[in-house]
Each structure stands twice: as structure tokens, then as C-alpha cells.
A and B are shown apart, each in its own frame.
Chain A
């Protein structure tokens, strides 16, 4: 006999808990204009598989799906003839002037290798701890830290160059 699994939460509670970090992660991975489509794909796939979810790491579980959808999306885009994703419009924050630094950083993130881009998006956009980043990426915690730090180094160089330019 199979051991009974604990029934997961109502899907609405799962959606409420994870929608912000998943959306933030996908914005960092595919840009704001495509994040919505990837978000739909992610949660539809999660809903279909929900009864089989391992309840111990729900956030890592849904992020694994989101990462797969983001990578599928990139591959689909790469096969198309037109140039890469249009970049996001500048964002206004708290009534202050639009900060145009967002655009080139997002471009720099988009240019990172898949593994590093996913790691840094999970760290900074979704705010996951390294243990959960490792679970979502299917690597060791050590490897997750290394990917984030490699990506961070590349981006920091870009940031310093940009900020030194008047």
C-alpha cells in the first residue's frame, strides 16, 4: 500500500503565496512583456501536477517549473528570425523620475548564461534563500552560491563601468 500523502493547500492559497516571487523571477528571466505568458504556463502546469507535488519545498517546486517555462520561452524565441526581446519600458518609482539604470541592467542579466541568469533571478527577484535556489535549480547549495556570485561579478563590473560614465 502506498503511504497516504498529506493533502496540499487549496490551490488559491498556493497561488497567493507564490505569485509575487514567481512573477518577479520571470520578469528577470524573460522581461516584463513576456513574463505574463510564462506565468500562465507555469501555474497551469503546477495546477495539472498539483496533486503529485512533494509538499516539502513548494516554492522550489514551482520555481523549477517557472525556470523550465522561461528556458522553453528563450529557445522558442531563439528559433525565430527577429532580434531579441524588446526591453522593458522605464519604471517610475514613488513619484520620482524614471530610473533608466533598470534597462541596461536587465539587458546585462538577459545576456548571462541560463544557469547564472536563473540563479541571480531567484536570489534578487524572488528573494529565495540559497537552500531553495539549489532545490529549484537541482544543484548543490555550493553550486547555487557560485552561480550567483559569478553572475554578480559580471554585473558589478557593468554597474561600475556605467556609474563611472558621466
Chain B
């Protein structure tokens, strides 16, 4: 096989790929220090897989459950908040620690500031704020949450607002069930909803 001049040039310019990754990490630290990042995110580990957690300067703004691709969460952040989104695990240390503790069964409520910007105004927002007050291990129904949000008959609208919950786990939409006690829908999948309810002791083993 003959080696062309192009091959020689190309080979001489090749370097291990790690260089760019290291440079990218240094860039991320500098961008954060200069205040250029509007949304920081990181991954978290749960017993059912890896998810995504994101925060602005105000607080936690989004949680991607393990079944949701990270690209999907990033798109929502870029469109809903700002495209200046970067992976900065250091800015999510508290959120990740609290999620770890929750999944370990060692935390019953989250003590994290929230940013509600991905939640639209109106009834849907009232539904999610009412849901945020549901205590650990206590379930409610779509109809009860609709009533708490000011419109007892709007249980379908309550269901769709819960389906769009940008901050699941911390805003515990998994605690809202169908009126007959059936488990109902969950963005993270019904298996995860059941898992969380068992973890909280809300349903039997």
C-alpha cells in the first residue's frame, strides 16, 4: 500500500481524542465562572437507570426520568429557557445528593429551590403546585388534585398537566392515582410509578 502525501499530513496532525475532551471540560468551568451558562445539567443514578437533572440560578428546573433521552431534555431546556445549556455536575451536587438519598429510602422530602419556568401559567400550574404539596407515601387522585387546583370537574386537564410535569420526583406526580385506585399513567412508565409508590410504602409489597 502506498502512502500518499495526504496520508502523511493527516497522520502528523492526528492526536489522541482525549485532548479535545479535556479542553471541553476546561471550557465548561470557565464558561460557568464567567456567568455565561443559563442552565446547568448533570446525570443522576437511580435503581432503575440514569436520568438527567437540570438547574438554573433560581433552582431545579427539570428532571428527566431514566426512560427519557438526555437530548430530549436538552431540547426542552434550549427551547423553553435558553440554549446556553452545559453539563456542569458541580452545580448539581445538592440535587444529586438528595435524589440519591431519596432512592436509598433515606429522604422523605426534597429541600431544593425550584424554578417553575417550564410550567405554563393557569390551571396546569395550579395542578402542579398542589401536587408539590403531597407528602411522602400519601396518594391522591386526579379528581382531588383538580379540586385542589380550583376545578373539581377538570380531572382530565389535571391529568394532562401532570403528564407534562417538568420536575417529576420532586413534584411528586407519581403520588396521583386514578379514582378506583388504579395506578394510571406515568411519564417514566407505569413500572417506575409502581416502584416509587412501593419505595414510599404507599402500596404494599
Residues of A within 8 A of B (CB): 7-13, 15-16, 19-20, 22-24, 27-28, 32, 35-36, 39-40, 43-44, 47-48, 50-51, 91, 93, 99, 101-102, 105-106, 109, 120-121, 124-125, 152, 155-156, 159-160
Residue in A12, A24, A28, A101 whose beta carbon sits within 8 Å of that of B87 in the complex:
A12
Residue in B15, B26, B41, B75 whose beta carbon sits within 8 Å of that of A91 in the complex:
B15
**What is the minimal beta-carbon distance from B148 to any residue of chain A, in angstroms?**
34
In the bound complex, CA of A24 to CA of B19 (Å): 9
In the bound complex, CA of A12 to CA of B28 (Å): 9
Q: A44-B36, A101-B8, A152-B5 are in contact. Are A36 and B23 (CB under 8 A)?
A: yes
Identity of the chain B residue whose Cβ is nearest the Cβ of A8 in the assembled complex: B83
Identity of the chain A residue whose Cβ is nearest the Cβ of B29 in the assembled complex: A40
The answer to whether B84 touches A47, judged by C-beta atoms less than 8 angstroms apart, is yes
The digit string for B14-43, where 1 denotes a CB below 8 A from any CB of A, is 111101111110111011001011010100
Report A-chain residues with C-beta under 8 Å of the C-beta of B5: 152, 155-156, 159-160
Given A19-B23, A39-B27, output 9 extra A-B contacts at Cβ < 8 Å: A10-B83, A19-B20, A27-B15, A36-B22, A39-B23, A39-B24, A44-B30, A106-B13, A124-B10
On chain B, the number of residues with a Cβ less than 8 Å from chain A's Cβ atoms is 39
Identity of the chain A residue whose Cβ is nearest the Cβ of B80 in the assembled complex: A7
Report A-chain residues with C-beta under 8 Å of the C-beta of B149: none
The answer to whether A105 touches B9, judged by C-beta atoms less than 8 angstroms apart, is yes
Q: B192 on the interface (CB 8 Å rule)?
A: no
Q: B77 on the interface (CB 8 Å rule)?
A: yes
Report B-chain residues with C-beta under 8 Å of the C-beta of A9: 74-75, 78, 83
Q: B11 on the interface (CB 8 Å rule)?
A: yes
Q: Name 15 interchain pairs, CB-CB below 8 A, sorted by A.
A: A7-B83, A12-B87, A15-B24, A15-B28, A20-B17, A23-B20, A27-B19, A39-B24, A39-B27, A44-B27, A106-B13, A121-B13, A124-B9, A125-B13, A152-B6
